Structure 1
């Protein structure tokens, strides 16, 4: 059984931080704590809705968090994939191998999706490993 099976089908919830509901950062936090024993900052209170103002706040929070991460060219399991929505870097997923990622977003429960899918194509900013 792949490790991702424990995380498939979790429901999306804006600002969610538990298995009852998660946003993309909440999913990253859950996996990092469960699998790696790393307690990432909550960032709760940022994701209110999908508005441009909220996405700008999320992008600013991601940029502030970036100092704790190292960009890599050779992603491995659980490395964070930073993606953009338009010009804003405001979505994250987790590398799971085979050019696929585990992620969650409004309207999509947590799933494994090819990085080259139509929805994700050309949105990847980079791959990041926690130091």
Structure 2
């Protein structure tokens, strides 16, 4: 029983979320086609959610995790349904080189042995995310912590 509990705990950590996945919507918009409008929508989302605490598996303003925040942002701002977990989100869209990032691209980080983190790129090396320590916030890819943890980027 104890081994099963540990396996479940590790699985939850590695996905940054425990909720079931959702599929991409059929009528998906190209979020990054207008970088200025995309960035404006993301900044507005930050204003509305700034400081909302991190909660593993959370999907509301009472608490939200990183992949849940990505799902909420894409759904409410762009009408796009994304998968629920970081493990699923890392496989959508196309790979983007860090030097080619545009507003709306997803940025992924390896924050531990099996833990992953995701945020949404804003531009100027800034990204929006649900931080475990400070809740929903904007951080810099140039921050020493995030710079060493950066893993990959995707354009949904």
TM-score after normalising by structure 1 = 0.74
CA, structure 1 residues 41+5, in 2 after alignment: closer, same or farther (shift >3 Å)? same
Alpha-carbon shift at residue 91 of structure 1 (Å):
0.7
After the TM superposition, which residues 60-71 of structure 1 pair with which residues of structure 2 at under 5 Å, given as runs?
A: 62=87, 64-71=88-95
More strand by share: 1
Match for residue 112 of structure 1? 138
- Name the SS of the counterpart of 2:68 in structure 1: helix
Q: Which residue of 2 aligns with 1:80?
A: 106
1:95 aligned onto 2:121:
yes
User: Using a 3 Å threshold, how does the CA distance of structure 1 residues 102 and 65 change in structure 2: closer, same or farther?
Assistant: closer
Q: CA RMSD in A?
A: 2.0
Distance 1:84 1:66 in 2: 12
Count of equivalent residues: 112
Select 2:58's aligned residue among 2, 5, 16. Answer: 16
For residue 121 of structure 1, give the secondary structure of its aligned residue in structure 2. helix
2:73 alignment partner in structure 1: 31
Partner Cα separation in structure 2 for residue 65 and residue 110 of structure 1: 19
**Residues 40, 105 of structure 1: CA spacing in aligned structure 2 closer, same or farther, 3 A cutoff?**
same
Compute the TM-score of the two structures, normalised by the length of structure 2. Answer: 0.63
After the TM superposition, list the runs of 4 or more consecutive aligned residues in structure 1 that deviate by more than 6 angstroms.
none
In 2, Cα distance between equivalents of 1:107 and 1:32: 23
Q: Which runs of 5+ in 1 are unaligned?
A: 44-60
Name the CA distance, whole Å, in 1 between partners of 2:84 and 2:112: 25
What is the CA–CA distance in structure 1 between the aligned matches of 2:127 and 2:89, rounded to whole Å? Answer: 20
Q: How far apart, in 2, do the equivalents of 1:39 and 1:75 lie?
A: 21
